[in-house]
Structure 1
Amino acid sequence: MSFTLIGPDGRPYQSSTKGAWGGHCGNRIYGRTDCPAALRAIAKGGYVKHRVFFADEQTAIAAGYRPCGACCKGKYQAWKAAKERGERWTP
């Protein structure tokens, strides 16, 4: 079986391993694959068309995605504070 993941350059590639993190390519958000907010959106028929996957969290960050406010609250708050200060966020 092959899975399509997003690499650190933001480009898709094929992998034999399922992605450990999910994301939304339109909003450039990443989070856990069991994120309650993402699962609610999927259940309502949304999100799936824009869903992407990453091998790990570092790859999602390198590809320019930010942490989810629902399933990665602490990291999201740190990202938001850094953005408000005009700084680059690094976990």
Structure 2
Amino acid sequence: MAGRFGGYRRGRIYGRLDCPSALRHIARGNYVRHRVFFADETTAVAAGYRPCSVCLPHRHRVWRKEEPS
């Protein structure tokens, strides 16, 4: 099964595969070496990744509220 979400290992961020921000970085040659894929969001969160603020704004806001100060 192909992954439904992509992530950036260095930033510990995950998002949709069609995320405009990630696609811009990839087009510039960034992210590619540090790209990871997840089957679902549960797996990404369990791996310690946070939601992207561009393509998953609602989930990112929830994550920010849950993040310890």
TM-score tier, shorter chain, comes to over 0.9
Q: Deviation of residue 70 (structure 1)?
A: 0.6
Q: Deviation of residue 39 (structure 1)?
A: 0.1
Q: Which has the higher helix share?
A: 2
Q: Deviation per CA, 1:21-73, whole angstroms, max 9, x where unpaired?
A: 10001111000011000000001111111100001111001111000011000
Q: Deviation of residue 77 (structure 1)?
A: 0.9
Note if 1:52 corresponds to 2:28: no
Q: Alignment length, in residue pairs?
A: 69
Q: Runs ≥4 in structure 1, deviation > 6 angstroms?
A: none
Aligned residue among 32, 48, 58 for 1:74: 58
Gaps of 5+ in 1: 1-16
Q: Distance in 1 between matches of 2:17 and 2:10?
A: 17
Of the two, which has the highest radius of gyration? 1
Gaps of 5+ in 2: none
Q: Distance in 1 between matches of 2:47 and 2:30?
A: 23
Q: Distance in 2 between matches of 1:54 and 1:18?
A: 8
RMSD: 1.2
**SS of the residue aligned with 1:52?**
strand
Q: Distance in 2 between matches of 1:35 and 1:69?
A: 10
Q: Distance in 2 between matches of 1:31 and 1:76?
A: 10
Q: TM-score, normalised by structure 1?
A: 0.72
- Counterpart for residue 19 of structure 2: 35
Higher relative contact order (CA 8 A, sep 6+): 2
